[in-house]
Structure 1
Amino acid sequence: MDRTADTLPPATGAVQTATSFTATATADGTWYLHVRAEDKAGNWSATAAHLPFKVDMTLPAAPVISSSSHPDQTRAYRGKDLTASWKAPSGFSAGYSVALDKISATVPDAVVETTATTYGAQLTEGVWYLHVRGVDANGTAGATSHFRVTVDTTAPGAPAVTSTDFPEDAWAGSAGTPGTFQVATAGTDVAGLTYKVDGGTSTGVPVTGSPVDLQGRTGIHLLPGG
């Protein structure tokens, strides 16, 4: 066995009678197994059978995926148009197998679907995953990279505002008296809240549930959530 296509085994040296052969290829590439026959009278065949086979022990590395439209995998975005790209692994390659679905660990097949390093799609609301793996010139597929994309086009409902210090539609407190207001979010994916009193300056409210202290003023006041 060697790397030459037409080697003729010698008529001297070790001869085996078994019809199987075991050997180890030591490098990637095309190898050849050469078999020559000898009869009981010691006559050798003038030619040999040559079996070519390919060895590929080096898998393409996993591509590194990024997205200009949805760069942070931990965030949700309103935009539905996904634009993604990846860096070609070194020492590679014939192309890539790509899949887009809602399963986090999908492994694409070993069929080259594109030679480009960019991908675009229009998504619906929800959590999506882009999966990319390289396929080398020998048809060997490498490790898969996964990229998470979250699309959220549904606005949260209005928060609920309550206060025991200043109950709704009731007179309470006095000028200069602090009041605590509780703001309850509608849903679990709210990133932030704002409030303002009587059309004043908007102020951010943590979504951790921290109370808001306001100085009371005489009269009827409005506290709209936003």
Structure 2
Amino acid sequence: MDGYSIAWDQVPDTIPDEIKDLEESVTQASSPALDSGDSHYFHIRAVNNAGKWGNTKHWGPLWIDVTKPSEVTNLNSPTHTPSTWSSTPVVKVSWEPAQDDHSGLEGYSIVWDTSPDTLPDETVDVSSDATEAESPQLADGTSHYFHIRSVDEVGNWCDTAAHIGPFWIDATKPSEVANLVSTTHTVSTWSPAPVVKVSWESAQDGESGLAGYSIVWDISPGTLPEGTMNLGADVIEVESAQLADGNSHYFHIRSVDMAGNWCDTATDIGPFFIDTTPPTLLTDLTSDPLPETCSSDAVVRLTWTSAIDESSGLQGYSVLWDRSPDTLPDDTVEIGLDVTEHASAELPDGNDHYVHIRSVDNVGNALDEAVHEGPFYINTTGPEPVTDLQSTSHQKDVWSNDDTVDVQWTPVEDKCSKMAGYSVVWDDQDDTLPDEVKELETGATKQRIRIHSS
């Protein structure tokens, strides 16, 4: 033996040329760097010292893969959006497989961490047929990433990885609001104002931040507002709509953060007592004396049945005595709710006295009307003197020889006294007060008397 001629190529039956490449003592050979492919062959042919060439021995094919697989494509999350807050701490990702044109894909090395560009190690974590992965429970934070690196069947690792993130995780619920108070009403205290204002200190959230609130006005003490935000995070006060009369109005507020975490509880305030309705008029008003009845007593006494107020309750009455038939008293209470009788002060003589009574409840609601009674006729001094007293036969301070004197007068119209008649006296004094013995009837308007000379 003198040596060998060898050839490396991609043809199964190549005959090496007749040029010696190796000495007869060589028993191994190395190929040049072969390209990736599945048709590489080695051919060897011996030659002796006489220059005679033997038959060729062929070996192959050799499957060579020196090409790294590609990255996965279309890496995305069906559950989360990068740089967007989520309350779900487990992230799912999916992808389309990496490509390898030769030996084929073996699988992937994956990493979940808080770095944007981590290159996973060369340990296969999931097989080549996997197209999705799920994270462990991730802590609250804004820097969660997923990295995936492919490897083929012969151990070629992709030089790079595909990355997705950051995923923002906030699984912690916000706090309740603090210091919830009403700036207009006191809890469990009647008010005539139907609109209630409340204020609070903002709820707290340590990660994604507060998004806002769900609020409810209702008549239940323990309502948990549903998970629909209807108030922004920067709002710290709100007012109700016009609330109906009642003693069971409540306000409830529940916080939610930017990741959609709802506080498990709500903060409540109430009950607010609302009364916008005035009480009724008092009823069954009676008087002593009766209206339009003459009385020599200057005091009028009244009795009645109480007014009714179904909310805050009756506080009492505003009472006014005057000489007008339809005056509306102010809303200042002079008589308490338990009083059902009243006596006037001493009224002056007259036939035009009226009383007006207006109901007022405990929050100051007063009717726009009152009960009116009258007129009361008061006469404590008797009728007024007649008028136009004169003689039709004689003149004053003028001598006359006629001893028969005729006098006449105009009666005083007195609604109260209902005159019974007159007491008269003839004498020589100018200021005599007649006695209290009636000499003339009510209808008399004149008298004739004969005066004897003395």
TM-score range, shorter chain: 0.5 to 0.7
Deviation at 1:113, TM superposition (A): 2.7
| Corresponding residue SS for 2:232 | coil
Deviations 1:114-150 (A, max 9, x none): 5121223452424654332333343433243233444
Q: Closer, same or farther in 2 for the Cα pair 1:31/1:112, shift >3 Å? A: farther
CA contact (8 A) 1:110 1:140 kept: no
CA contact (8 A) 1:37 1:48 kept: no
Q: Which residue of 1 aligns with 2:138?
A: 25
Deviations 1:21-44 (A, max 9, x none): 341223344422222222222222
Q: Which of 270, 274, 280 is the matching residue for 1:157? A: 280
Q: Which residue of 1 aligns with 2:266?
A: 144
Deviation at 1:77, TM superposition (A): 1.7
CA distance in 1 between counterparts of 2:146 and 2:185 reads 52
Q: Which of 168, 171, 177 is the matching residue for 1:63? A: 177
Aligned-partner residue type, residue 228 of structure 2? D
Where relative contact order (Cα < 8 A, 6+ residues apart) is larger, the structure is: 1
Q: Which residue of 2 aligns with 1:85?
A: 199
| Corresponding residue SS for 1:43 | coil
Q: Which of 254, 259, 268 is the matching residue for 1:133? A: 254
| Corresponding residue SS for 1:157 | coil
Instruction: Please state if 1:5 is matched with 2:116.
Output: yes
| Corresponding residue SS for 1:20 | strand
Deviations 1:171-203 (A, max 9, x none): xxxxxxxxxxxx8884653445558xxx9x745
Q: Closer, same or farther in 2 for the Cα pair 1:112/1:77, shift >3 Å? A: closer
Structure-1-length-normalised TM-score? 0.62
CA distance in 1 between counterparts of 2:231 and 2:310 reads 41
Q: Closer, same or farther in 2 for the Cα pair 1:155/1:139, shift >3 Å? A: same
Count, aligned residues: 195
Deviations 1:32-63 (A, max 9, x none): 22222222222223222324422212211111
Q: Which residue of 2 aligns with 1:102?
A: 218
CA distance in 1 between counterparts of 2:308 and 2:335 reads 19
Q: Closer, same or farther in 2 for the Cα pair 1:47/1:151, shift >3 Å? A: same
| Corresponding residue SS for 1:133 | strand
Q: Which residue of 2 aligns with 1:119?
A: 238
CA distance in 2 between counterparts of 1:138 and 1:58 reads 9
CA RMSD of aligned residues (A): 4.1
Aligned-partner residue type, residue 157 of structure 1? T
Deviations 1:5-27 (A, max 9, x none): 22221113x52325433412233
Q: Which of 40, 49, 52 is the matching residue for 2:153? A: 40
Aligned-partner residue type, residue 133 of structure 1? R
CA distance in 2 between counterparts of 1:145 and 1:54 reads 28
CA distance in 2 between counterparts of 1:140 and 1:112 reads 15
Deviation at 1:154, TM superposition (A): 0.7
CA distance in 2 between counterparts of 1:110 and 1:7 reads 39
CA distance in 1 between counterparts of 2:336 and 2:190 reads 23
Structure-2-length-normalised TM-score? 0.35
Q: Counting strand residues as a fraction of each chain, which structure ranks higher? A: 2
Q: Percent of aligned positions with the same letter in both sequences? A: 20
Q: Closer, same or farther in 2 for the Cα pair 1:43/1:134, shift >3 Å? A: same
CA distance in 1 between counterparts of 2:126 and 2:193 reads 69
CA distance in 2 between counterparts of 1:30 and 1:152 reads 56
Q: Closer, same or farther in 2 for the Cα pair 1:53/1:39, shift >3 Å? A: same
CA distance in 2 between counterparts of 1:103 and 1:10 reads 62
CA contact (8 A) 2:307 2:314 kept: no
| Corresponding residue SS for 2:196 | strand
Q: Which stretches in structure 2 are left out of the alignment for 5+ residues?
A: 1-111, 288-304, 322-333, 344-356, 361-454
